[in-house]
Amino acid sequence: MKKRNKILFFTISIFVFFISYVNSYADEKTSTFPVEMSITIGKEEYTLFCKLDEFLKNGWKLSEKRFDMDPTRTEYWYEVRYTLSCKENGTKLIPWGTAIRTLEKNGSYLEVEIENRSDTIAKIEDSTVEGILILSKHIKEEVKLKNGLSLQNFKVEELWKDGNPQKYPFSEG
């Protein structure tokens, strides 16, 4: 009986040691997704995840135009994304709701995905920008990532040469 208790104690000790090792490894391991990313549009730098109000203070305005910029999405997907989480004629978002809006400034357009990260209904302006979609044909301003990669100079053809993928300096934040 005592030998059985020792084996059981040993087994439990090994199990506890293993679990604590896994937990400590998980705490040390960080995500490959950056905590924040920055993008420069024209002369203004924006750090995602910022409030939509930051764009509006820099001259961007909510546009009535809809370009449905993402070619992998259908018009029905866009209709849902523009309206489903919205209240009061699209001026407010439900708690933790997301929506897509088009911003306009000096003839340039970009699409932002916003989220209300609160537990109450909030104005669109107070929502958090969690994604930006920019197409070169809809933007007149220079767009640069933190590492200096410019949308205007980016060419997909440079990613492939002789049928092989090439190393390209994508943004690390």
Backbone angles phi, psi at 135, to 5 degrees: -110, 135
Q: Does the residue 155 lie in any domain?
A: no
For residue 172, what pLDDT is reported?
44
| 39-to-36, 48, 72, 117, 138 alpha-carbon distances in Å | 10, 8, 23, 21, 17
Q: Is residue 169 part of a domain?
A: no
Task: Confirm whether 100 is domain-assigned.
Answer: yes
Tell whether 161 is covered by a domain.
no
Residue 164 lies in a domain: no
**132 and 81 part of one domain:** yes
pLDDT score, position 152: 72
**Domain membership of residue 58 as a residue range:** 37-149
Judgement on whether residues 17 and 44 belong to the same structural domain of the protein: no
Question: Does 67 lie in the same domain as 3?
Answer: no
User: What integer pLDDT is reported at residue 54 of this predicted model?
Assistant: 94
User: Tokens 């040691």 belong to which residue?
Assistant: 17
135 assigned to some structural domain: yes
The span from the CA of 101 to the CA of 109, in Å, is: 10
Q: Which residue, chain included where needed, has tokens 């059981």?
A: 8
Alpha-carbon gap, residue 39 to 46, rounded angstroms: 5
Residue 173: per-residue pLDDT: 41
Domain count, the chain: 2
| Claim to verify: residue 120 and residue 44 sit in the same structural domain | yes
138 and 110 inside one domain? yes
Shared domain for 24 and 42, answered yes or no, is no
Please check whether residues 25 and 93 belong to one and the same domain.
Answer: no
The pLDDT, as a whole number, for residue 128 is 93
Same domain, 21 and 84: no
Local structure of 7: helix, strand or coil: helix
- Cα distances from 30 to residues 6, 19, 21, 35, 54, in angstroms, run 38, 19, 16, 10, 28
Residues 5 and 74 in one domain: no
Let me know whether 49 and 97 are in one domain. Answer: yes
Is residue 117 assigned to a domain? yes
- In a shared domain, residues 112 and 56: yes
Mind listing the pLDDT tens digit of every residue in the chain (173 residues)? 566 656 655 566 565 555 665 565 544 445 555 567 888 888 999 988 899 999 999 999 998 887 767 777 777 777 777 788 888 888 899 999 888 889 999 999 998 999 999 999 999 999 999 888 888 788 888 888 877 777 777 665 555 666 666 555 444 44
Q: How many CB atoms lie within 10 A of CB 107?
A: 9
Residues 48 and 69 in one domain: yes
Q: Which tokens hold the place of 63?
A: 């546009």
Which residues have a Cβ under 8 Å from the Cβ of 3 and sit 6 or more positions away? none
> Burial level of 16, CB count in 10 A (0-12/13-18/19+)?
exposed
